[in-house]
Structure 1
Amino acid sequence: MTPEQQIEQINANLKTVGDQLKTMAEKADADMKNRGTLDQQLRADIDKTLTTQGELLARLSTAEQLLAKVQNGGGAPGQPQSIGAKITESEDFKAFSANPKGDFKMSVQAAVTSDGASAGDLIVPDRIPGIQAPALRRLTIRDLISWGRTSSNAVEYARELVFTNNAAPVAEGAQKPESDITFEATQAPIVTIAHWIPASKQVIADIPMLQSYIDGRLRYGLKFKEEAQLLKGSGVGLNINGIYTQASAYANPGVLVQAETRIDRLRLALLQVELAEYWADGIVISPLDWAAIELTKTDNNAYLFANPRAQNLPGLWGRNVVPTQAMDMGDFLVGAFGGALAVEGWDREDVTVAISEHDRDNFVKNMLTIRCEERVGLTVYRPQAFVKGDFDGIDADPGTGG
């Protein structure tokens, strides 16, 4: 395809992309007028189309430069000479042809190289679309618990302290026994989790997909911190009082276990929850501890309960196991996560990303501030429904049955 044909095709594609952007802009205006927000899918389509437009403009510039070279050279780009052409057109060969005596030898450089005189002008670097992001941790703690919505800065609730149960069989006409229940009023604050980054206004305008990428990274960073707060927030100051923080400490209920393993200890922790009149439905441990459990073998080096060829979901004793790096190696948490019976999360404000130039001296520097925040809370109604502990005293080598 000649440079003229390339330019004609690229211009046709640019017209198509321009028409698509015009249609999207009209739809975006309608969304902003009707709802005050821009549809996320429409925003993604606009970013993708703008990226395509930028790539076409870059190709157009390359084709125009190639056309200029052709026109300045008075014709099509010269084709590399063959070895035979280089020999027959050389002055040495012409002199030998006029007086063919002896042998004729000539050194010919025939390799195609990246030099500008060879094929260098045809070489352009490949560009992989998008940005190669680092690995992201799988976030799981939020999905373990039920969530509600609130419009306040705190969630108040009454928690039962003591129940004296004097129910008993009663003879006809006799005084019925009296029971007693005492409560305490408590509350969980709604916490704001937020962060921001500065960005050049020109960069955001010139690279549309960068804004979407930054949005995603800021949202992930927010949820990463939320996961740590929900699980192990200290409850001090502006921190959430996490589930692990409020859970009861592990204590063997009195069951004698020989050659105790990690699996044994987790079963005893489940028993501790059951003896507190709750049903534990989940186990949260470090991926390192879960790997050690899965690699437990018999004396014959056979896997004790895992099948490497099967697609088994993590589970022990009929409960779901959630391996997460939010849990430190050697620690565990078991409890009644589901059903909002023992714990419940609260969303006051969903994750929002705001961009503003009205921050400090942003306006005069053409800078933008991109802020991402959310407001969440956590209520642990029954701390006894959760048991936390560690694997201290258990051999950490999975090959020994630990």
Structure 2
Amino acid sequence: MPPAPTLTEQRDEIVRLLQDDSYEGDLDELMQRADDIAAKIEQANNRDSRLRALRAAALPAGDPDPQPQHRRTEPGQQPDDQGREHPVSVAEAFVRSEALRAFRERGLRGESSAVTYDYRDAPTGTVTTGNGVPVVPQRVPGQIPVNPDFPLLIANLLDRQTSSGNTLEYVRDTSGPVAGTGTWNKATVVPEGTMKPQSGPFSWDLITTSLKTCAHWVPITRQAADDDGQMMGYIQGRLTYGLEYNRDRQILNGNGTSEMQGILTTPGIGTYRPGVGSTDAKLITVRKARTQAELALYPPDSIVMSPLDWQDIQLDEDRNGQFRVITSVQDPGAPLRLWGLTVVTSVAMAAGTALLGGFRTGATLWERQGITILMSDSHADLFLANTLVILAECRANVAVHTPRAFVKITFAAATT
């Protein structure tokens, strides 16, 4: 007796019949079979998901029934907050990797060696693995993956996409400024039988650039490298943070040639500065700049400013000595908001200026390579000093395709 067809074979057969325009069988019965097989496949997927979660929750060997407060947790071995097995940070990914395990084994045998590990932040959803290394699906615009333990990054405000090559080519809208009904929008009511108007003109520049590599390294003793906790501290607390800070700085101020393309250095962005002699407080200046962005037909969603300028806004008082911005006073852990905008404070932004705009609308962060961690004991004479090198690098660039979606704010000088 031939074996029963698998779920995959049954699915493929139903798909073939549904695509066959000449199919003369009972269509209702075929649709019912399609629903049944879809339900069985979903049930199998759910079962597989439960199985992975159950395995991730398995008790440590030799500890048959520990109390929750007594359970042993090793650095880098915890599942994420939803019980999935994939690591929750680049540091945990590196510590848990097969590449690091093999590196340590070679070191015990006295062999000079190196280890390379490529990691991309995994968004919420299905994550597949190959050889133990997370393989991340295509990023979907419109989500901001925020770690509640760290401040919001400027990079998280942008539309983020994955590049398949090292050359980045895109078109930049260089049409003139638009206000009110606009100079390009000729749409109007047209009497029957008359010529319709043509909108425009539009102008575009073809921008060709390359993805830029950002990297740095730190020395670490072999003893520290054998300790997962210290290893994670070096990777997450120093290397990863350093890359993310530099990336934020370049998103704002990169020169576009030897560095990434910075938004503030992109020609065509809007500007707002209070008039000569203006006494507008920074709180008022931001509101007026928001209006300018809305008149350009690109409603803003966020603003980036220096911590010093945000401090001035938070400490702004009315005549009764009451803070005008009170949300953060009442709840310091609340998301920073101002005039409906998400506020990101960064030391990468110079004091006295701010960047307001529709970040997802105006720019895309293209990433070719996630954060790659490399470790070696063969650098210079560090082998003799029992010292290793950990290097972290990534490749990315920013496509500022709609400069008019941004407004650079210059605050009025303080008066005494």
Give the shorter-chain TM-score range: 0.5 to 0.7
Q: Which residue of 1 aligns with 2:34?
A: none
3-state SS of 1:220 partner: helix
Q: What number of residue pairs does the alignment pair up?
A: 272
Query: For the residues of structure 2 that align with 1:269 and 1:309, how far apart are their CA atoms?
Result: 25
The equivalences for 1:1-400 within 5 A come to 42=96, 138=151, 140-162=153-175, 164-167=184-187, 170=190, 172-179=192-199, 180-200=201-221, 202-204=222-224, 207=227, 209-216=229-236, 217-235=238-256, 237-246=257-266, 248-251=269-272, 259-306=279-326, 310-311=330-331, 313-338=335-360, 341-360=361-380, 367-395=387-415
> Residues of 2 paired with 1:314 and 1:257: CA distance?
30
Give the TM-score taking structure 1 as reference length: 0.57
In the alignment, structure 1 segments of 5+ residues that lack a partner are 1-14, 25-30, 32-37, 51-135, 398-402
Structure 1, residues 28-48: CA drift from partner, whole Å, max 9, x if none?
A: xxx9xxxxxx9557469x99x
The sequence identity of aligned pairs, in percent, is 31
Q: Measure how far apart 1:259 and its partner are.
A: 4.1
Higher helix share: 1
Task: Quote the Cα distance in structure 2 between the aligned partners of 1:209 and 1:252.
Answer: 49
Aligned partners of 2:353 and 2:408 also within 8 Å: yes
d(CA) in 2 for partners of 1:197 and 1:328?
A: 28
Secondary structure at 1:234 match in 2? coil
- Retained in 1: the 8 A contact 2:169–2:206? yes
* Larger Rg belongs to: 1
Separation of aligned partners in 2, 1:285 and 1:330:
8
Shift of 1:143: 1.6
> Which amino acid in 2 is paired with 1:319?
L
Q: Is the alpha carbon distance of 1:382 and 1:358 closer, same or farther for their aligned partners in structure 2, counting shifts above 3 Å?
A: same
Which amino acid is 2:156 matched to? D
* Contact in 2 for aligned 1:287/1:325 (Cα 8 Å): yes
**1:262 positional shift:** 0.9
The 1:196/1:282 distance shift into structure 2, 3 A limit, reads same
Residues 274-324 of structure 1 deviation map (CA, whole Å, 9 limit, x = unaligned)? 121110111211222222212222222223342676225432222222222
Structure 2 residue runs without a partner (length 5+) = 1-60, 64-71, 77-84, 86-91, 105-148, 176-182
Closer, same or farther in 2 for the Cα pair 1:299/1:157, shift >3 Å?
A: same
Which amino acid is 1:301 matched to? G
The answer as to whether partners of 1:260 and 1:394 remain within 8 angstroms in 2 is: no
Q: CA deviation at 1:376?
A: 1.1
Q: What TM-score results when the alignment is normalised by the length of structure 2?
A: 0.56
